[in-house]
Amino acid sequence: MSSQRFDQARPFVTLGVVVAVWLVLPTIVKSFVRVSFFELEAPVEVAASYARDLQEYWSLRLHSNSELIEAGRDLARLNAAYELRIQENAALRGEVERLESLMRLPTFIDFRSEPARVVRRDFSGWWQRLIIRKGRNFQIAVGSPVVFTGGVVGRIVEVHAYTSVVELISSPNVRLAAVIEGDDRPISYQGGDNRSFAPPQGVANFVPLEIVATPNLPRRLVTSGFGGVFPPGFTIGYLVNTPRSDDGLFKVGEVELDPRLSSITEVTVLVPLNPE
């Protein structure tokens, strides 16, 4: 009888011994094992990503010349508008530097833009992460903000040899300091539950009572610049609902994020030029 009980417990005893050994192992060993497994998986993911790019290239080759000419013409118009914006931006930067030197103000952190293709999306109910195709080989740093044309994507949480992991702003593990556009009172933003077949969402806490937002009149939520991670003014999402919180002192806001966040194929990493 006792031998039968021991036979039943044997798998769990073995597992217990393995877990005990694992707990006692130094952190450096565990980190090394984790990195090793990640780098073992990385070539498979990157190869699949290159195969997708190749597939996209050949599908574009099937387009007729007239379609490509039209697309090129539309892009040329967009490029011309961006060129004008860049020139205005350069003039404004010069003005800011002149004022900073006149009033002896500290300069904001400058960033280097590093575009990167998305290798894999990992959007479960518990986390929302992207793997991008640049890592230490492009001097990507942990904590660097990641953006795209629609605003903030997230931040770099892991950097490996030639890939990096981005945690999206729709992930429940991400918190940002934000402000409503036109208001400078700080708000806490956190990624929320991402329901199936629905756009990504987040939650805004400590919304002032005077702020009112509805689906017909949404309020734009932008980065505040507090904390020095994200530059100020980048779009996070739109506040579409502001019910009162349980304590009645603030409101809780429902934030709708850009639906393109779920199908991103390319992002830009803002690598700080002078990391502190």
Partner 1 sequence: MLLIESSPAQSQRFSTLNFPPSALRHPPSVIRHPSTALHSLNFPLSAFRFPLFSVRRILALFFSALLLWSLIAIVNHYVAPWHVYLFVGGLFVTCVALQMPLRAGLYASLLAGLLCDAGAGTRFGLHAVLFGLAHGVVFNLRGRLDRDSTIVQVVVALFANLALFLGLSLTQIGALPVPGAAWLRLLWDLLWSQLALVVIAPWYFAVQRRALVLADPLTTFLERREAE
- Which residues in this chain contact partner 1 in the complex, by CB under 8 A? 8, 10-12, 14-15, 18-19, 22, 30, 33-34, 37-38, 40-41, 44-45, 48, 120-127, 129, 131, 167, 171-173, 190-198, 200, 203, 262-263
In terms of CB distance, is 48 or 217 closer to partner 1?
48
In terms of CB distance, is 174 or 213 closer to partner 1?
174
In terms of CB distance, is 33 or 161 closer to partner 1?
33
In terms of CB distance, is 79 or 265 closer to partner 1?
265
Helix (H) / strand (E) containing 214? none
Q: What residues contact residue 115 under an 8 Å CB cut-off, 6+ apart?
A: 266, 267, 268, 269
Least distance to partner 1, CB of residue 197, Å? 5
Least distance to partner 1, CB of residue 12, Å? 5
Least distance to partner 1, CB of residue 270, Å? 22
Distance (Å, whole) CA 155 – CA 144:
6
The tokens of 51 are what?
A: 């195969």
In terms of CB distance, is 8 or 66 closer to partner 1?
8
The Cα-based distances of 88 to 81, 93, 97, 99 in angstroms read 11, 9, 14, 17
Sign of the alpha-carbon torsion through 188, 190, 193, 199: positive
The tokens of 142 are what?
A: 């942990």
The Cα-based distances of 207 to 141, 168, 179, 254 in angstroms read 32, 22, 9, 10
Least distance to partner 1, CB of residue 226, Å? 20
In terms of CB distance, is 45 or 111 closer to partner 1?
45
The tokens of 25 are what?
A: 């192992």
Place of tokens 């999306």: 121
In terms of CB distance, is 130 or 222 closer to partner 1?
130
Sign of the alpha-carbon torsion through 29, 33, 34, 39: positive
Least distance to partner 1, CB of residue 48, Å? 6
Helix (H) / strand (E) containing 257? none
Least distance to partner 1, CB of residue 259, Å? 9
Least distance to partner 1, CB of residue 175, Å? 9
